[in-house]
Amino acid sequence: MINYAIRLRATVDEQGALIKALLTHPMENGFRRNAAGEIAAAHYITEITLRINDEPVTTLLTGSGISANPLFGWRIDGVQRGDTVTIVWRDNLGNIQAKDTSAQ
């Protein structure tokens, strides 16, 4: 089973909140060959949504051109310490993962 761990951090400052997410995902574009010489099937995240206290604030629609184990950063206005920050993604195979954290 693939490990899809998500690391999420939200830091409140004068300009809102800096949110950083490190996802674990192979982001295979369907053209690469593995060590055995077989083509690895396409497997990549297609959509990522960021929510603050359950309100969607940003959606990224993505293709296979995003790096494996992708790192993202956003800046969101009006985030207070203690607000719940949630990230959810789904991929082309229908897998879904979510993680929330409290803004610091």
Partner 1 sequence: MSNRREFLALAGAALLARFLGNPGGAWASERNVNAFNARSPESVYAALGLSAPVDSAEIVIQVPDVAENGAQVPVEVSVRLPRVQRILLIGERNLFPLLADIRLSERSQPWLEAKVKLAESSRIRVIAQADGRLFTAARSVRVIVGGCLPG
Question: What contacts 57, CB < 8 A, 6 or more positions away?
Answer: 50, 51, 74, 76
81 belongs to the binding site for partner 1 (CB under 8 A): no
Question: What CA–CA distances, in Å, run from 27 to 13, 39, 50, 92, 93?
Answer: 32, 14, 19, 10, 11
Token pair in block for residue 35: 């060590």
State the Cα–Cα distance between residues 8 and 85, nearest whole angstrom: 9
Q: Which of residues 55-74 bind partner 1 (CB under 8 A)?
A: 55-68, 70-74
Residues that contact partner 1, how many (by CB under 8 A)? 43
State the Cα–Cα distance between residues 51 and 39, nearest whole angstrom: 36
Instruction: Name the minimum Å distance from CB 76 to partner 1.
Output: 5
Instruction: Name the minimum Å distance from CB 104 to partner 1.
Output: 18
**Using CB under 8 A as the criterion, what x/- string covers residues 14-53 for binding partner 1?**
-xx---x------x-x-xxx------------xx-x--x-
Instruction: Name the minimum Å distance from CB 93 to partner 1.
Output: 14
* List of residues contacting partner 1 (CB under 8 A): 15-16, 20, 27, 29, 31-33, 46-47, 49, 52, 55-68, 70-78, 86, 88, 90, 96-100
